[in-house]
A and B are shown apart, each in its own frame.
Chain A
């Protein structure tokens, strides 16, 4: 199953709708990373509202992806962590998913936009757009 990566200006939007096999997860990871580098994305929102179960592997994949995207210079926010998922992640006792979480996609995009507004490199494309 290929996960669609939507583009909103220079923000990328990914919504994980279903449990992923290990291969799908790796495919998703490299697809997203390539895409971020390709459009020089400023922000990435990963929406996991539809996931009821997040195992430790999936949590690590999401975490790693966030890290890679960060290295490529984009802000990351993870949206829609379900209460039950949050509990299991805490139970697992590891710093999974980090601090970049938002309640839902709307708030996630708000956080992204706020963070992007403070960046120094948002103006550099203005003259090209004219």
Chain B
């Protein structure tokens, strides 16, 4: 431990913390938009981080400073960063918090000794560089976790197979169909067909923005598999542009009944199982 830095940290610990806390509060944006803004980091959290950093600084200087994944300081930093990330904050904000502390300590260190103690300054630099790097790592990690979670829940949400009527299933496709989704859609559809012994399956493409080769191929596989189970396929909601693209790509859906709208498709499906929707008074007449 370099003497001047060590003394400074011991003597002015509380003063430093108070000063830092003030700066942190000043840095945070005014609470004009309470919903979007990240809540200010709780004081005890900052205290823990502060103590962690100072402890790290009090260790004897070495060539390299890196935080181990099990250090308590790493934990606290990660907590802070994940709070920020979840509320849409940027990594800059957290790093800015750390750099404020660095600037405070540097200022005090420079004024307390003449000439300034080079060893102490260098150590300070190395420690905060290491901290900054870990902060960014943690931030990226947390963001990736969030993205994975979201895409999983999106996958869950976006592939329902509805039982429209006895022996009629409806598969409304919405959004972009990629390989993973296509496989999941096929699996679910086949399970549902087998479970409900469906005779007709309506695939509604109204919500599919782009029909290209890959989408068409996935669709064909799904349709072929469904046909193997003995269900008729009714395709609905293809846009004029979609129809043109499919035909120009040379894709033919031969075994498939196609209808312009879901409405027409439902009528067709009902007819295939011998039913029809009609007005109630017909029953009595």
**Which positions in A face B, CB cutoff 8 Å?**
29-30, 33-34, 36-37, 40-41, 64, 67-74, 119-121, 123-124, 127
Contacts and interface: CB of A to CB of B under 8 A. Distances in A.
B240 A73 contact: no
B260 A74 contact: yes
Nearest to A71: B243
Interface residues of B, number: 30
B276 interface: yes
The 8 A-B residue pairs with the shortest CB-CB distance, nearest first, are: A120-B271, A121-B264, A73-B259, A121-B267, A120-B268, A73-B260, A71-B243, A68-B243
Interface in B233-268: 235-236, 238-240, 242-244, 246-248, 252-253, 258-261, 263-265, 267-268
Given A64-B248, A71-B246, A73-B258, 14 more contacts: A33-B243, A40-B261, A67-B243, A69-B243, A71-B258, A72-B238, A72-B260, A120-B269, A120-B272, A121-B259, A121-B268, A121-B271, A123-B276, A123-B278
Interface string B26-53: 0000000000000000000000000000
B15 interface: no
A33 B269 CA distance: 24
Nearest to A26: B244
A119 B268 contact: yes
A29 B240 CA distance: 11
B270 interface: yes
30 contacts: A29-B244, A30-B240, A30-B244, A33-B240, A33-B243, A33-B244, A34-B240, A36-B240, A37-B239, A37-B240, A37-B260, A40-B264, A41-B260, A67-B243, A68-B243, A68-B247, A71-B243, A71-B247, A72-B260, A73-B236, A74-B260, A119-B268, A120-B268, A120-B271, A120-B276, A121-B267, A123-B276, A124-B263, A124-B267, A127-B279
